[in-house]
Amino acid sequence: MEDTYKHKGLRRLLVRELRQKGIRDEAVLAAIGAVPRHFFVEKAFDDLVYTDIALPIDCEQTISQPYTVAYQTLLLNVQPQDKILEIGTGSGYQACILVEMQARVFTIERQQALYEQVGALLDTYFQAYKYRLRVFFRDGAKGLAEYAPFNKIIVTAAASTIPQVLCEQLEIGGILIIPVGDPEGEQVMCRITRLSDTEFKKERFDLFRFVPLLEGIQPLPAPPNHWKK
């Protein structure tokens, strides 16, 4: 796969569209302008990948709409060298946006198939990112205790409540961005700021629709029997 002039041109138009929709943070827009989103979806979606829509990826999951990626990234207030935890690797696109912004990123996925695809994608196209990005196959609802605390945590799946365990993995002054609400309906984008050991501030923003945050892990299915013939 290549990053052609056509793709680069379409990316510039996408950035312009996001700016018109109210995303004014130049660092966020620069990252969206830099990361080739078409590397993260099937070739069949090449004509749609630089329009502002969510697209299907494997395991009945989705790569978030670019506006949503920009919105969450904006709320995260990414600073160079931030240590960020992402729950819900999916395609790996959001994680790469954070790396592009010079953060150090730990991302967790519960679907083994997606976890392995992202590993292969990083090996092929994003070798330089691998110094700043680690991908884990586990249940992200528990966070990543052995690497805590984090400056920032971003959840890219719908939670019915705010997992306390994630709040506890924030450093003082750290922030958690998480869509909270009915996983089958709409969720409110929430920002939790850790003020002290015991105090947290909660702010609410706009409504979004995410795929649900699920429990446990989903290993690859066994190969079908007819492969043995």
Least distance in Å: CB of 139 to ligand SAH?
5
Tokens 């007819």 label which residue?
Answer: 226
- Collapsing DSSP to helix, strand or coil, 12 comes out as helix
Part in contact with ligand SAH (CB under 6 A); list of ranges 44-52, 133-141, 176-184, 201-209: 133-141
Give 201's Cβ-side CA count (13 Å radius): 8
Site residues for ligand SAH, 156-185, by CB under 6 A, read 156-157
Selected binder of ligand SAH within 63, 122, 135, 170 (CB under 6 A): 63
- Collapsing DSSP to helix, strand or coil, 215 comes out as coil
CB 188 within 8 A of CB 204: yes
Task: Tally Cβ neighbours within 10 Å of residue 185.
Answer: 9
Interacting residues of 138 by C-beta distance below 8 A, sequence separation 6+: 108, 110, 217
The catalytic position among 64, 91, 160, 196 is 64
CA quadruple 219, 130, 172, 190: dihedral positive or negative?
negative
CB 86 within 8 A of CB 106: yes
Least distance in Å: CB of 63 to ligand SAH?
4
Selected binder of ligand SAH within 62, 151, 169, 187 (CB under 6 A): 62
Part in contact with ligand SAH (CB under 6 A); list of ranges 27-35, 73-81, 176-184, 211-219: 211-219
Least distance in Å: CB of 205 to ligand SAH?
18
Is 160 catalytic? The answer is no
Q: DSSP character for 90?
A: T
Radius of gyration of the chain (CA): 17
Residue closer to ligand SAH (CB basis): 36 or 90 = 90
Site residues for ligand SAH, 66-125, by CB under 6 A, read 87-88, 90-91, 93-94, 108-111, 114
Residues that bind ligand SAH (CB under 6 A): 61-64, 87-88, 90-91, 93-94, 108-111, 114, 139-141, 156-157, 211, 213-214
Which residues are known to be catalytic? 64
